[in-house]
Amino acid sequence: MPDRFDLLTYLSGEPGPDVAHPRVGDPVELRILQDGRSIEAYSAAGQRLGRLPPAEREAIAGLLPPGLASLVGQIAALVPRPQLQGAGRIHIRVSAD
C-alpha cells in the first residue's frame, strides 16, 4: 500500500434542494457506509451531497487503512451541466497518508 495518495473523484447525483450550495474549497467527509458497498459525501454541516460511483468507491476503499471509516477531502470543482439546474457535478480531491 502506498504511503500517500491523492485522488480526484466526483459525486453521482446532486444534493437535494434543502442542501446549502457547495463551494470550491469546502471540506467534505467521505463516509463508508456500514454495508461497505457505498461511500457518501457530506458537507461540514452534515448535509448529504451525493455518493461516489462504484469504481471510485472501490479505489478509495482499497486504499483506506484498516478500521478507518471516513476520509476528509475538499471540493476541487463544480462542473455545470448544460440545461440542468442545480449545483452541477461536484469534484472532490482526497489526500491521505
Tens of pLDDT along the chain (97 residues)? Answer: 456 667 888 888 767 667 788 899 999 998 888 667 788 999 999 999 988 888 888 777 777 777 777 888 999 998 876 666 655 788 999 876 6
- Rounded to the nearest 10°, the torsion over CA 83, 42, 36, 12 is 10
d(C-alpha 1, C-alpha 77), whole Å:
28
Grid coordinates given for 67: 478500521
Instruction: Supply 77's cell numbers.
Output: 470543482
Amino acid at 51: R
**Cell digits for 28?**
467534505
Please provide the distance, in angstroms rounded to a whole number, between the alpha carbons at the two ends of the chain: 10
Whole-structure pTM value = 0.80
Strands 48-51 and 39-43: antiparallel
Q: Which of 23, 26, 30 is nearest to 9 (CA)?
A: 30
